[in-house]
Structure 1
């Protein structure tokens, strides 16, 4: 051993080098933001009774994706 060995984190990486957990978080956040945008557009168009699944997607998927992305970021930083 030369002392130049680097520790590799145990998180699975994709082909572009980002951790799988980070990519999942980004995808969920983007999907949630699309749901938030759809809620705003439908409400602005005059619809009052929006589907419950759309409201749940906007309210749950967005922060879940953000939390997952932040968790992956912290986990990757601690692995270095």
Structure 2
């Protein structure tokens, strides 16, 4: 997968996880189903890790010579 496709996926995963975490704190524990907790605890770190891996992978890719 290219960087152009991986970075929006990483940002989307991270955003979904952050929204779930905010919902957990705003609504409270008893009012939410279990899948919201799973989204909050899995999507945020997964999106962050994918974003970091994408940036590192893109920075190590050899650039085409110009000239």
Q: TM class, shorter-chain normalised?
A: 0.7 to 0.9
Structure showing greater Rg: 1
Matched, 1:62 2:44: yes
Aligned structure 1 segments of 4 or more residues deviating by more than 6 angstroms: none
Matched, 1:27 2:9: no
TM-score of the two chains, using structure 2 as the length reference: 0.81
- Please, what is the CA RMSD of the aligned residues? 1.6
Question: What is the match of residue 21 of structure 2?
Answer: 36
| Aligned mates of 1:63, 1:42 — CA distance in 2 | 22
Aligned residues: 62
* Structure 1 gaps, min length 5: 1-10, 14-18
The structure with the largest helix share of the pair is 2
